[in-house]
Amino acid sequence: MGSLEESSAASDAEGTSTAATAYLSEHNVPFEKISVTYEKPDGGESLCDVLARQMNTEPDKLVKTMVFKYGVDSPCLVLMHGHKQVDKKKLARELGASVKNVKPADADMAARFTGYDFGGTSPFGTREAMAVYMEEGIREMELVYINGGSRQLVLRMAVDDLIRTLQPTVADLAAE
């Protein structure tokens, strides 16, 4: 696959800049910005389905970024397929923490650690450095769509660039 360039030819996100896009640009990481409209899903659809439809791609290619806490002010980021859930027992094992202490961060805590509004969390350019954990199945993908630091911005990028930039711990984290 050819490399991605920061481009807006297929989107109207040209003027959109976030801490995530600034971080990626500073580190010479190729990505493409895609503008999306945040819509609450209706019926049996998930937000992942809504966004995939807007971007004309498969829901399996969307990767969500979640903030988990596993102690007093001990956050980490988890990258998961958009349509899957994190198995807290598996994550606790990776963190070396008790499963009862592993919890998704609430909106305020997530914003405090990342600098992003809830629903717009990106793993790039976070306010605080955090360990990043990634579901192992993501590694098998060629391209991913991941939040760009706003509910209206998704970044399309090569998985190899994502891994090189974030250096996540890759593990089986998905709930069955």
- Mean pLDDT, range 75-104, rounded to an integer: 95
118 vs 91, more confident: 91
Please provide the CATH number assigned to the domain covering 19-171.
3.90.960.10
Distance of CA 132 to the CA centre of its chain: 10
CA-to-CA distance for 18 and 119, rounded, in angstroms? 14
- Measured between alpha carbons, how far is residue 116 from residues 18, 52, 112, 139 in Å? 9, 22, 8, 25
Q: What is the mean pLDDT of the chain?
A: 88
For 115-162, the pLDDT digits (tens) are 998 888 999 999 999 999 999 999 999 999 999 999 899 999 999 999
Whole-number percent of the chain with pLDDT over 70: 91
For 72-88, the pLDDT digits (tens) are 778 999 999 998 999 99
Stated as kind and residue range, the H or E segment containing 54 is helix 47-55
CA-to-CA distance for 50 and 42, rounded, in angstroms? 9
Q: Model confidence at 21, in pLDDT bands (50, 70, 90)?
A: very high
pLDDT of residue 142: 96
pLDDT of residue 26: 96
- Measured between alpha carbons, how far is residue 93 from residues 27, 65, 99 in Å? 32, 19, 8
Buried b (16+ CB within 10 A) or exposed e, 88-113: bebbbebbebeeeebeebeeebbbeb
pLDDT of residue 13: 53
Mean pLDDT is lowest, of 15-24, 44-53, 85-94, 120-129, for: 44-53
CA-to-CA distance for 112 and 127, rounded, in angstroms? 8
- Measured between alpha carbons, how far is residue 74 from residues 103, 152, 170 in Å? 11, 28, 19
Give the count of beta carbons closer than 10 Å to the beta carbon of residue 80.
23
pLDDT of residue 41: 73
Instruction: Give me the amino acid identity at 156.
Output: R
